[in-house]
Chains A and B, each alone.
Chain A
Amino acid sequence: MVPVTDSGVPSVDPIMARLVRTWISLLILQSFLVAIAFGSEEVEEFSEALLLKPLPDRKVLAHFHFENRAPPSNSHGRHHHLFPKAISQLVQKFRVKEMELSFTQGRWNHEHWGGFDPLSSMNAKPVGVELWAVFDVPQSEVDASWKNLTNALSGLFCASINFLESSTSYAAPTWGFGPNSDKLRYGSLPREAVCTENLTPWLKLLPCRDKDGLSALMNRPSVYRAFYHSQRLHLSTVESGEEGLGSGILLEQTLTVVLQPDTISVEANIQPSWSISSLFGRKVVGRCVLAKSSNVYLHMDGLSGHELKSVDTELEAQKLWNNADFELSLTPDRILREINSFLLVFDIEKSSDSEPFDLGLTWKLPAKWSCQQAPLHASRFLMGSGNERGAIAILLKATESLENLSGRDLTNGCCTVKVNIFQIFPWYIKVYYHSLQIFVDQEQKTVIEVVKKINVSPSTDKMSSGMMEMMLELPCEVKSAAISIEYDKGFLHIDEYPPDANQGFDIPSALISFPDHHASLDFKEEVTKSPFLSKFKEKSLVRSYTEVLLAPLTTPDFSMPYNVITITCTVFALYFGSLLNVLRRRIGEEERFLKSQGKKKGGLKQLLSRLIAKIRGRPVEAPSSSTESHEARSSVFSSKLLFKIILVAGAAAAWQYFSTDK
């Protein structure tokens, strides 16, 4: 900036400013020219979107979606306008083909918040950190790339992702996870705490950071007060197909929070009303100028009673307005509809500092609806007690949506539902795969009857974690299914225990996915090619993560190092003492020596012993005859000893008495 002063040279500033301006315009022109010169090349694009969705259990879901697209270009001498350099370097260095990193706090409530829409299948993540990546390197280098990537991400996101580096914490799923690739690595850290220091680097990747646009809404206290908070980063490379060009990168950043609006309404059965400012404590004061599109969407899901068949959007909007149980503070720019949901689109173009965008929703009538759930609701728990063994059980319960789902596989005349289960077992959970038991509708089935495909890689102690991928085929009319598998608990070396070892050890979430079922939201009257809406249109695999489990293992008492040291020293002292005795003393020879002494010289021996005794300053030991009973001997011995003990004890007592009196 050019400093402006009162006096000095007032004419310089405008000139300078003009110069700078022309220079900038020249630059822009130049870049345009460059862009035109490489006509085939697309420009980098950034778009932002916020989706708001009232949930049936009086909460509101807010889903921020930022997409950053870097087109394919020459890999050397690369310059980015909008795309974060850190990510592109990461992709180039480690040859990442696809990667997803998520930080999550709280649990996704599958029952109330749904499990059969793209939003939940992509954003319902397990607690803690989850990372998976597909690499574009030879098979032998995949592990090395993974290790480097975890360390790089660890630095980038201020999280202990580097713990995924060790081979005991990640696995290589083949088909049970989702993307079928042999260069896929998957790992999760259930105990990672998520906080603002993970969000800040994530925001730094956005062109406007959190200074402008929708990301300005991310007020830390309100975002972290959420019942569910999941921050996700997904990147994939787009092959250009042309020779000489590198690959483009698509970076997708989402933040999903489930907030509880502050209830002011007294009536219990009316859903709480909210506005953006009441949810986040901030308002949208304008879009991020660098964004190609920035919209706010309001998704009204499963609201029945709007049997609108009209083709005319305007008329429909009008009708919706009149019939709706709710009232909006702003009129939507467009209304898109799906089979049983509406999407109201708001453009934040018009908003400014003086007129901020603050969407509010007020419920007029009590409304009840439910989100569509995944075909089967999965819960996982530990069985058994004690520190020795246990069992893991996964319970699948049919939901209402199973009955009215069209995505059934009608092979061989019978209707079946396919379920993939992917589970990682840490090595200290030593699973016995032969003990796999499957119950369908409370009847035990053999594994062959139900399991269509299974892939197991057993764990190696302290070397690698175990993994199980299993595809179940259940009849459509199934009510419940249960899988149990037994395990032994392993022993850890003392330095392998994590901090707070007495809490227990985590077993990462299992992933339940339904390969026949895909969730997508296809809004028919799609006008713009919004990346956000096209994301929704994509068919995504219906998946749900189970709970993280806590398995108590045998834990040493770490708070007693003193005792351990003491007992170890005692054992060592005893051992070395006896060993030295054995090595040094020759008892046989000693006896022989004494015997020979006794035979040879009766008088001389006594004299000698007396002499030795005098030298040593001890009273002469009377040669006790063997006929004498040892009782008498020891009583003599004892009276002396007793006297000594009493003397010492008396002295000690006296000393104690006098010393404390002072």
Chain B
Amino acid sequence: MATEKRDDKENEAVKTDDGSPKIKPRPIVQLGIFLIAHSHVFSVVFSAAGIMALLLLPLLAKNTYISENALMPGSARSMLSHRDVSDGSKLVKDIKNLRLNHEGQGVEVQRLIGKYMSEMGAEVYYQKFHPEGNQFHPLHFFSGPDSYTLLGNVSCASYGVNVAGIIRAPRGDGKESIVLVTPYDSTNGGDYEALSLGIASSLFSLLARVTWLSKDIIWLVADSRHGDYRPVAAWLSEYHTPSFKASDLSKCDELNTSHSFRRAGTMAAALVLKVDGRSERFEDTLSIFAEASNGQMPNLDLINVANYLAVHRQGFYVKVEKVVSLLSSTWLKIVGELFEAVGKMAHTLNPDWNFGIPAADYLEGSATLASSLYSQALGIPTGPHGAFRDYQVDAITLKVSPRFSPDNTARQHEFFQRGAQLLEGTIRSVNNLLEKFHQSFFLYLLTSPGKFISVGVYMIAFALLVAPLPMVAASLYIDGCNALTKATHNPAENLKSWKWLDAAKQVLALHLLGFIVTLLPYFICQVPGEHSPTNRSIMWATTISSVLLITCVTIPGCSPFSSRLHGTNWAVLKSVTISAAFIGLCLMSIINFATAEIGALLLVPMCLMVRPIKPDLRSRSVKSLLRSLCSMVLVTIGFPVMFFAICKGLIGEGLVGLSLGGEFWTWLESLWAWKSATYLYIGMVHLPCWLLCLCILFHPS
């Protein structure tokens, strides 16, 4: 931006110095002038290239590789014995029997697991926690995980009990630990869920007697009656930020928790194991979830190790989440076929050019990529592993779907063995690490379990998308200034440098409004009484509109509908809007790249296309009508609620009217509650920019 401004000045200096011979500007200045002068062409070219680069990403994905040599996955033979596995089977059987006998007595199961753990030689303790965790609090938005504060009115009726066992490494120094988490719902968890305990128990039985451990192992059985995430987060916050004051939960002494909370050093990595549902495929399926809050990812090496061992040692079918509806989309298929054809042609030209991939692979890759992008952009963790990322611990969730029914005990043994061997290999690799994970990528998108796109590649698309913004802003500014100079003959008003001030005021006012809107949900939630999400969204909408109205009335020059002739020139307004959008997107790309990417896809065309609709309608030429129609459509899509509805429609859920509002509200609330930066982006960048585009669209010029 700064360079562009300077370029403008120099450019004008060249122009206004009449009579004197021209000083040839420097090449970089020339290039700037050139780009600004042709901003229309370039903006089209860059935006198209940006979208193209995004579509090309599945082609550019590289195969993953294990970057840290110390990991050495699969180099050691598994030491898992039949005895260990039968330990696991016995636990599962005992739990089943217990559940048959006493229905609903949750703590019994925990006690049983604790007994098993201590028999294996682990240090066991129980931790009680409160199920309500994520509370709306506007001031604690970006603060780190805060202390485990409890609310005043604590009821002993509903609290969860986590069981954790620690195996101390025989010759280790106890500085580091590896965490294994198995969420288990003791009251209404299915039979499949109990299998995860079986696998973990088999593994734990093995680890209790091996001599190669250098890091302590913690097995946490999280009480997932109140969701997967909350118990893990509660345990982690007790681990890292305990409150030494007396907690109210200690009074609710259903369980004899004389055991104190124990710790085992800095966590090196964490694995969350879940077993659910029956695999649709012929093999057992392993799904890997890695996205934590705000698009943070664990180190790629951790995924690589798990993937390598699952595929090459244990023969699992490994997958990552994908957008299923994209698999059947025709246009993507066409694009894929096109790329395939281009790739084939390139291959015939030069046999070394092997960038083409089959259309089916492309389709799979882009569906996975879309899911990866979406999960990161949403900023909500995809599993309990997200809680670990808040403490800079690399964690992934491994969800295993066996291909047999849980009653089949014959197959169960083999399943336990494979699952435990997979975890053993992964833990052994992490155990080998001298340093914490740092060698491989942290910023990447997955297109398949074995393929990734690193930050250096995927940021090209974003850079191309936002590149036209400063150019167009500069050229619009010059145009606007020229128009203003022509319109006013008052030399006092001809002060060039202050022409953007009116527009800036308006932009600032609308951004302020966006800030207020961002804080509103907190206050709405404070409104006493129970409200449905729909009601809340209506409340929100009315407050917003009233605030908007007040802004328009009170602050002169901010009204989009005022018909003052000497009002701000729309070109200058658009220029400032675009600059603000550019700054907002660039900032967001640092916080959460995926959000910025999706946001740029929406904002950039809208900001670039939007023009006052009045003159276009007046001129009645086909071109201008088409232009106005385009900007209308883009502005409609750009409205967050509208976009949300379209997304829902794409996934396959139709929503209309008030239920849409309620749905949107719930979505927004969840974003807020999970402390997603996307919420801030929507409130403070996207919404003001959209409003400004609306202003420009209905500008009375």
Contacts and interface: CB of A to CB of B under 8 A. Distances in A.
B434 interface: yes
B392 A660 contact: no
B171 A379 contact: no
Contacts of B280: none
Contacts of B450: none
B666 interface: no
Contacts of B436: 502-504, 552
A71 interface: no
Contacts of B30: 634, 637
B15 interface: yes
Interface size bracket, B side: 35 or more
Contacts of B382: none
Given A439-B244, A502-B438, A638-B34, A630 B145 contact: no
A378 to B, nearest CB: 12
B20 A594 contact: yes
Interface in B242-263: 242, 244-246, 260, 262-263
Contacts of B175: 504, 506, 547-550
A552 B244 contact: no
A623 interface: yes
Contacts, number: 137
A106 B37 contact: no
A555 B438 contact: yes
Interface string B7-34: 0000100110111111100000010011
A605 to B, nearest CB: 8
A624 interface: yes
B435 interface: yes
B144 A386 contact: yes
B265 A547 contact: yes
Interface residues of A, number: 65
Interface in A607-662: 623-624, 626, 630-631, 634-635, 637-638, 656-657, 660-661
Interface in A581-624: 590-591, 594-595, 597-598, 605, 623-624
A630 B15 contact: yes
A501 B434 CA distance: 10
Contact of B20 (A397, A551, A595, A661): A595
Contacts of A439: 244-245
A190 B553 CA distance: 69
A363 B38 CA distance: 93
B244 A227 contact: no
A657 B349 CA distance: 8
Contact of A443 (B19, B245, B390): B245
A107 B175 CA distance: 11
Contacts of B260: 395, 397, 480
Contacts of A385: 144-145, 240-241, 390-392
Interface in A368-391: 379, 381-387
Given A547-B265, A550-B265, A105 B171 contact: yes
Contacts of A381: 263, 265
B244 A559 contact: no
Chain A interface mostly helix, strand, loop or mixed? mixed
Contacts of B266: 382, 504, 549-552
A623 B349 CA distance: 48
A383 B242 CA distance: 8
Nearest to A106: B171
A82 B199 CA distance: 59
Contact of B240 (A379, A384, A504, A631): A384
B454 to A, nearest CB: 14
Interface in A335-389: 379, 381-387
A637 B349 CA distance: 34
Contacts of B349: 657
A637 B392 CA distance: 53
A444 interface: yes
Contacts of A661: 350
B575 to A, nearest CB: 18
A605 B350 CA distance: 55
A637 B18 contact: no
A400 to B, nearest CB: 12
Contacts of B392: 385-387, 552
Nearest to B246: A442
Nearest to B147: A383
Given A439-B244, A550-B176, A591-B23, 7 more contacts: A383-B240, A442-B246, A484-B244, A547-B173, A547-B174, A594-B20, A623-B21
3 closest residue pairs by CB, A with B: A502-B435, A442-B246, A439-B244
29 contacts: A106-B171, A107-B172, A107-B173, A127-B174, A227-B171, A379-B262, A381-B263, A383-B241, A384-B144, A385-B144, A386-B392, A393-B242, A395-B260, A443-B245, A443-B246, A444-B244, A484-B244, A503-B434, A504-B436, A549-B265, A550-B176, A550-B265, A591-B23, A595-B20, A598-B20, A626-B18, A631-B37, A637-B34, A638-B34
Interface of B: 11, 14-15, 17-23, 30, 33-34, 37-38, 144-145, 168, 170-176, 211, 240-242, 244-246, 260, 262-263, 265-266, 349-350, 352, 390-392, 434-436, 438-439
